[in-house]
Structure 1
């Protein structure tokens, strides 16, 4: 085995799906790209990592709500563009050709072009680690999309898309919650 520099170790574990997080500050909606996500358990709880360096953070902290939108790989260039400009001076929906849709329970919009949208409420902010814990309150799938592959950031400017699926549900049955 070869030693790996510790400053690159995160690239071994970063590969959760790239998501878009929408917020609304009471005046306008914004989108930020997040590559650091975590499923908390078998309940609809998730965590994202973000902080004051992101323009959307103030709206997320004040409103205590957001939408997690999961884009497909055909949106990769828009998603990267969203993550490399600021909502302080850019209408990201307009610039990247994305359609905001009124959510049912939160003021942040859904994104029509995404594979799925999850309306969330903030249930905890762990400021020392820039972790926002979210609880899903509603969710939507976009079954009309032709491209359904989510994609994942490696952390070094490269990405991978979902590929072959391996079904081991029978082997895993004892560990899966009812209905999954």
Structure 2
């Protein structure tokens, strides 16, 4: 089967579609939707977001050196899209999308109450790369919705209805096809794990 060769571009999908909240003291908080985001380091825990300098939120984050990454779900798809195509210069996105600003523990930027996970971040460096500038940030706190805790106190993130962004589309995550390390587990281990999973059901 042949393949076409295209000019250089970003074709790494799917990506997380997250709502990033930020704000200056005394002003209305804002939300920007970001797909250029991810994990940078485990110890210390660090993440990044990449934002165009002309975006309204850019100057806010550059000045305050903080933001919150809010994970999104299929129920938040419309709000996620809206916060990516409307500017905080013109609208109050929390108000328009009926989202709840919740005070953070470590930063002044608000969390989004409707999101299952909120990650409070403090900027440590700004990389001016080209069309987008990368905000490298240390994770200061993570908030998880208690509604998704199981009877053993384990947070079931995959039960929240997470969605992703892929080639211009928002997509709901599908069925589980494996777990980390499953390809090298011995046959006996896999059967034992499968039996345990069936008993839980």
Give, in angstroms, the shift of residue 77 of structure 1.
1.0
Match of 1:70 in 2: 71
Aligned residues: 170
Give, in angstroms, the shift of residue 169 of structure 1.
4.0
Match of 2:140 in 1: 137
Provide the aligned C-alpha RMSD in A: 2.1
Structure 1-normalised TM-score?
0.86
Give, in angstroms, the shift of residue 51 of structure 1.
2.6
What pairs with 1:13-162 in structure 2 (closer than 5 Å)? 13-26=12-25, 27-43=27-43, 44-129=45-130, 130-144=133-147, 148-155=160-167, 157-162=168-173
Task: Render the CA deviation track for 1:98-127: whole Å, top value 9, x for unaligned.
Answer: 101011111110011102000000011001
Give, in angstroms, the shift of residue 53 of structure 1.
1.8
Match of 1:176 in 2: none
- Secondary structure class of the residue paired with 1:113: coil
Match of 1:3 in 2: 4
Cα separation, 2, equivalents of 1:77 and 1:21: 15
Give, in angstroms, the shift of residue 31 of structure 1.
0.3
Task: Tell me: CA distance 1:6–1:57, structure 2 relative to 1, closer, same or farther (3 Å).
Answer: same
Paired residues of 1:72 and 1:147 also in contact (CA < 8 A)? no
Paired residues of 1:93 and 1:99 also in contact (CA < 8 A)? yes
Pair member with larger Rg: 2
Task: Tell me: CA distance 1:171–1:42, structure 2 relative to 1, closer, same or farther (3 Å).
Answer: farther
Task: Render the CA deviation track for 1:21-76: whole Å, top value 9, x for unaligned.
Answer: 11011222100000111211323211111032210111100000010000111111
Cα separation, 2, equivalents of 1:172 and 1:33: 37
Task: Tell me: CA distance 1:81–1:139, structure 2 relative to 1, closer, same or farther (3 Å).
Answer: same
